[in-house]
Amino acid sequence: MNMIVCVKQVIDPEAPPATFKIDTSTNQVVPPAGMSPVIDPYGEYAVEAALKIKDAVGGKITAISLGTNQLRDVVKKPLSMGADELVLLEDEAYDGGDSFSTAFALAAVIKKIGEYDLILCGREASDWNAGQVGSGIAEILGLPSITLVKKIDVADGKARIERLTSDGYEVIEVSLPAVVTVSNEIGEPRYPTIKGIMGAKKKDPTVWTPADVGLDPAQIGAAGRKTKMLKLFQPAHEGQVEIIEGESPEESAANLASKLREAKIF
Amino acid sequence: MADNKGVMAYCEVADGKLAAIGAELLGGGRKLADDLGEELVAVLVGSGVSGLVQEAIALGAEKVYVVDDELLKEYQADSYVAAMEKVAMQAMPRIIMLGQTNVGRDLAPRLAFRLGTAASLDCLELAIDADSKALLQTKPVYGGNAYAVFTTEYYPQVVTARVKSMQPLERDDSRKGEVINVDAGLDASAIRTRVVEKVVEEVEGIKLEDASIIVSGGRGIGGADGFKQLEELAKILKAAVGASRPPCDNAWVPAGLQVGLTGKIVSPDLYIAIAISGSSQHMSGCSGSKNIVAINKDPEANIVKQARFAVIGDWKKIIPAFTEKIKELMAG
């Protein structure tokens, strides 16, 4: 089984909301000072899904990550968890992309890697919450895709996959190669072992520029976007809250209930 | 692009019925179509769905495209993307709206890429720019810490709208409309996935996604026993019970109750957050709620800042009194 897992480096989504800042002049998020970025949580679930398959039937896992200023200690996490190879797409030309140009670049890299049975992505990334890259890769490569995946079993060139539905899940059979996007129901990502961390330290990632993968800079990053962001803003909450008071907690509670009734909220 | 006209609402069918999201999209789509001075069309895809045409018209569609085929009995990306591609190529709409459901979030990006563009998923607001007529697509990003307004210069503009973010129209059965049947032209061998089993997981009480009120607890609830009190309140309010991540991680409640980035995304009328601090991860699941009420001992907690009403104090004292008063008000 040759597996390719797409991950990305993001601002830590567990960071306190108060540290979240936008530079409105550039429409960009300012990374919080003193806080290390992390691998996107859903990307970690995708790595875990691949590792579970490797545990069961063996195979090779190649993680790929696209971006600039990727901290090695961060993007090497899939390696320390148990992935075999790491490919980084690092070049300014990849910057400022949307789902379309990102999927386009990732698909080109996957084609260059050439050998794959299963491509795994997170169901969405915690920064732009776009939820499209996995499906996009499938379209570009002409592969079947299954999203919102909670379990994968592989046997005889086929995968048996559990996909979340609104009231449970469905079991889907698909021939390989295929693309899956993984949800958190797959199970908690494992912690890197000491051996894994030591191994990852020694391993150098492969770094590919657009030219290395035969990509025209006009097709990727900001130049290859199909969507345009007009505005990025923080919703205003300050000063909106009404604190309901009372002589005692019990009275405050009763006052809250009355207030909600008055406002016809229930 | 100049050739693309009209607003298309993809109306999901579930158990032979029009799903609620379809009515919501037609309501929201009606307004966009009126602002554009263009038509609103509905799309029905499935097997045996022709009987739902009149309902789609009564809910605001001027035309209904129907793709009815045995091979479309179950949702599968391969067959549904192909069917929708055919409809889109025939109708050439300016906008295609889908719901942010397990089907819509699977179908929308594949369809958009097939049509040579990208989609915007999970939009909370859709509006037409008066000058350019572009669709302004507002969606939460960074787990609801921020909102972004996107537009696309490639047509059709494909979006999904969050469930309950739009109001359906009053059903009016006197409305008239046109039906256009589209031949799916599917080849069974082109469908590379096969649904072998559907498993329904019974949930006790009201499902989180369907609830108009949610009573949700966080780390401060302290254990499974605490959640029993929340369940009692929920029962009275006909609400669903939710939780932030720590209670799920600690198995005080089933993992399926988690609201947040790595859980359910909900948008009820009322979200009562009890002993929840309001991390970004959690807020991304509930920031679409119409009213958030925070019950928290920390006045500086993020959830308090984002709430409409808050009571500062110990939930163990507040919830019993709150529950009693609610009971009294509902009885009276």
Q: What is the pLDDT of residue A220?
A: 95
Cis peptide before A210 (omega within 30 of 0): no
pLDDT at A164: 92
What domains appear along chain B, each with residue ranges and CATH number?
A: 7-190 (3.40.50.620), 213-331 (3.40.50.1220)
Nearest to B262 among A168, A184, A226 (CB): A184
pLDDT value for B2: 56
Tell me the mean pLDDT in the region B67-74.
96
Q: Whole-angstrom Cα distance, residue B218 to residue B283? A: 12
Q: pLDDT tens for residues B210-229?
A: 899 999 999 999 999 999 99
Report yes or no: B250 at the A interface, CB cutoff 8 Å.
no
B178 CA: distance to closest CA in chain A (Å): 31
Q: How confident is the model at residue B145 (pLDDT cuts 50, 70, 90)?
A: confident
> A197-201, A261-265, B94-98, B238-242: which has the minimum mean pLDDT?
A261-265
Q: What CA–CA distance (Å, rounded) separates B9 from B7?
A: 7
Nearest to A172 among B194, B213, B317 (CB): B194
Percent helix, strand, coil in chain A (nearest 5)? Answer: 35, 30, 35
Q: Which A residues in the span 78-117 are in contact with B, Cβ-Cβ below 8 Å?
A: 98-100, 103
Interface membership of A169 toward B (CB under 8 Å): yes
Interface of A with B in 219-248 (CB under 8 A): 225-235, 237-238, 240-244, 248
Confirm or reject contact between A23 and chain B (CB < 8 A). Answer: no
What does the mean pLDDT of chain B come to? 94
In chain B, the residue whose alpha carbon lies closest to the alpha carbon of A17 is B280
For the purposes of burial, counting CB atoms within 10 Å of the CB of A102, is it exposed (0-12), middle (13-18) or buried (19 or more)?
A: buried
| B304 shares contact with chain A (CB less than 8 Å) | yes
Q: Measured between CB atoms, which of A13, A229, A231 is closest to B261?
A: A13
In this prediction, the answer to ipTM > 0.90 reads: yes
Each residue of B42-70: pLDDT tens digit? 999 999 999 999 999 999 999 999 999 99
Distance spanning both ends of chain B, measured CA to CA: 58
CB contact under 8 A, B308 and A42: no
User: What is the token pair recorded at A45?
Assistant: 């679930």
Alpha carbons within 13 angstroms on the beta-carbon side of residue A144 total: 23
> E strands along B28-71, which residues?
40-46, 63-68
**pLDDT of amino acid A138:** 98
Q: What pLDDT sits at residue A239?
A: 65
With an 8 Å Cβ cutoff, are A234 and B147 in contact? Answer: yes
pLDDT tens digits along B273-301: 999 999 888 988 998 899 999 999 999 99
Rounded distance between C-alpha atoms, residue B245 and residue B276, angstroms: 10
Task: Check if the beta carbon of residue A195 is closer than 8 Å to that of residue A161.
Answer: no
pLDDT at B134 exceeding the cut of 80: yes
pLDDT band at B37, cuts 50/70/90? very high
- SS3 category, A149: strand
Nearest-neighbour CA in chain A from B39: distance (Å): 24
Q: Are A8 and A74 in contact (CB under 8 A)?
A: no
Average pLDDT in the B258-276 region?
91
A158 at B interface, C-beta within 8 A: no
- Half-sphere exposure at residue B51, Cβ-oriented, CA atoms within 13 angstroms: 6
pLDDT score of A237: 66
Tell me which chain A residues have a C-beta less than 8 angstroms from the C-beta of B149: 229-232
Asked if A129 lies within 8 A of B120 by C-beta distance, the reply is no
- DSSP annotation of B1 reads -
The secondary element (H helix, E strand) that includes residue B160 is strand B157-161
| Residues 6 or more apart in contact with residue B317 via CB below 8 angstroms | A248, A249, A250, A253
Total residue length of chain B = 332
Q: Distance (Å) from the C-alpha of residue B122 to the closest C-alpha of chain A?
A: 8
What the block records as the tokens of B30 is 């009606």
Q: Which of B148, B322, B325 sits opposite A232 (nearest CB)?
A: B148
CATH number of A2-224: 3.40.50.620
Q: Is B44 buried (19+), middle (13-18) or exposed (0-12) by CB count in 10 A?
A: buried
> For testing the chain A interface, which of B149, B193, B249 should be mutated: the one with the most A CBs within 10 Å?
B193
| B236 inside 8 A of chain A by CB | no
Q: Is B237 on the interface with A (CB under 8 A)?
A: yes
pLDDT of residue B144: 83
**Which residues on chain A are in Cβ contact (under 8 Å) with B113?**
100, 103, 132, 135-136, 139-140
**A207-243 per-position pLDDT tens digit:** 999 999 999 999 999 999 999 999 999 987 666 899 9
Q: What are phi and psi of A213, to 5 degrees?
A: -105, 10
Q: What is chain A's pLDDT, residue by residue, as a tens digit (266 residues)?
A: 999 999 999 999 888 888 899 998 888 999 998 899 999 999 999 999 999 999 999 999 999 999 989 999 999 999 999 999 999 999 999 999 999 999 999 999 999 999 999 999 999 999 999 999 999 999 999 999 999 999 999 999 999 999 998 888 999 999 999 999 999 889 889 999 999 999 999 999 999 999 999 999 999 999 999 999 999 999 876 668 999 999 999 999 999 999 999 998 88
**Contact yes or no for A107/A140 (Cβ under 8 A):** yes
Q: Answer for the pair A149, A104: CB distance below 8 angstroms, yes or no.
A: no
Domains of chain A, residue spans: 2-224, 235-266
- DSSP category for residue A205: P
Amino acid found at A266: F
